[in-house]
Amino acid sequence: MTTIASLDARLVRVPLTRPWAADVTSVGVIATHVVRADGAEGWGFSWTPQIGAEAVLALLQHDIAPAAIGRDADAATTWQPLWQHLHEAGGGGITTIALAGLDLALWDAAARARDLPVSELIGRRRASVRAYGSGVNLHYPIEDLVAQVERWAAAGFGAVKIKVGKPDVREDAERLAAVRDVLGPDRALMIDANQRWDLDRATAAMEVLEAFGPAWIEEPLRADDLTGHTELARRIATPIAVGENLHTAYRFAEFLRAGAAHIVQPNIVRVGGITPFLRIAEVAAEHGATLHPHLLPELSGQLALTLPVAPGAAAPMAEDVEDAGFGALGALADPSPVTIADGTLTEAPHVGLGIRFS
């Protein structure tokens, strides 16, 4: 058995080209480096927009590293006992975000030791996936929003996602009408409320916004409101997407069993890394659900190439948030491990995850 010899972590603040909100001007990346007893090295990361990065760093340095050293360096073997070790600090959230820093580094080390990209180590099922244009744009003036969508259309994206949740739904409708005029009838339009509504407001809003043919409504309610999502799914025709703020396979299974979601969007870092992400993908396939990984295309695009697709489900897509990719922000020490062109994501030559922070 090869064991973990050391784990180091450091905080990197990555400024955003365009703030996501007045108080979200950067993202926090906790870059990790693991060394195995056989000398193999791996690089990973944890990630959180603005809030909690210092807490993640402290958890990695003070709780995860001491507990990890000497354990099996196989990520799939080590993840569960370490998650149980951290459970008194919470079953998900800061704990799983921090645990991703170790898990990703272990997967990177395993792939680098075999001179492979991680997607090939897991088992690549496809050479490319569709990507969709996405933006944190609720605060954009409508002219800026339209210009953004025009850039996505010109770049060849066949699907785009915009934010909704203005105080007056008539303003959301005006913005969607302008976006639909740019996209035409053949490109997909998704909308994301980022948990801004309660059940009654979501119902009323969707009565208006369904006229624009959204492919899904994302996080219409508070992420942990299982009962509300179940009822909303009964009331509206638009598929519901959830998952960026669900943290365990148990929660994903609960939402799918209840019929509260049709599409799941686990964030690979927030759920704790590749090991639990692959389990969540199995859960989605067991329920016939579509899975589109959330954000982080340099990472999630690689994993999307490996995912099974249940009968009747759509193939995974990668989310490309404008001006927010690590490569676009100049945060990577090496060229990006993925390329997005004409609305399609493919891998560039690399080993491991190919994600090291400068």
- Tell me the catalytic residues: 163, 294
Q: First CA to last CA across the chain, in angstroms?
A: 32
Would you say 260 and 221 are in contact if contact means Cβ atoms under 8 Å apart?
A: no
Tell me the DSSP string of 229-291.
HHHHHHH-SSPEEE-TT--SHHHHHHHHHTT--SEE---TTTTTSHHHHHHHHHHHHHTT-EE
Q: How far apart are CA 68 and CA 61, in angstroms?
A: 11
Look-up: residue for tokens 């958890």?
59
* 3-state SS, residue 348: coil
User: Which of 331, 305, 332, 329 minimizes the C-alpha distance to 316?
Assistant: 305
Report, in angstroms and rounded to the nearest whole number, the Rg of the chain calculated over CA atoms.
20
CB neighbours of 309 closer than 8 A, spacing ≥ 6? Answer: 285, 315, 316
Residue 39, C-beta contacts closer than 8 angstroms, at least 6 positions apart: none
Query: Alpha-carbon distance 198 to 206, whole Å?
Result: 12
Question: Which residues, 6+ apart, have CB-to-CB distance to 206 below 8 Å?
Answer: 217, 220, 232, 235, 236, 238
Strand partners, 9: 32
Which of 193, 117, 155, 212 is closest to 342 using CA atoms? Answer: 155
Phi, psi of 333 (to 5 degrees): -80, -25
List CB contacts of 277: < 8 A, sequence separation 6 or more.
Answer: 266, 268, 271, 293, 303
Q: Which of 305, 303, 258, 296 is nearest to 280 (CA)?
A: 303
**Cα separations (Å) of 29 from 47, 57, 66, 336, 354?**
5, 9, 21, 16, 15
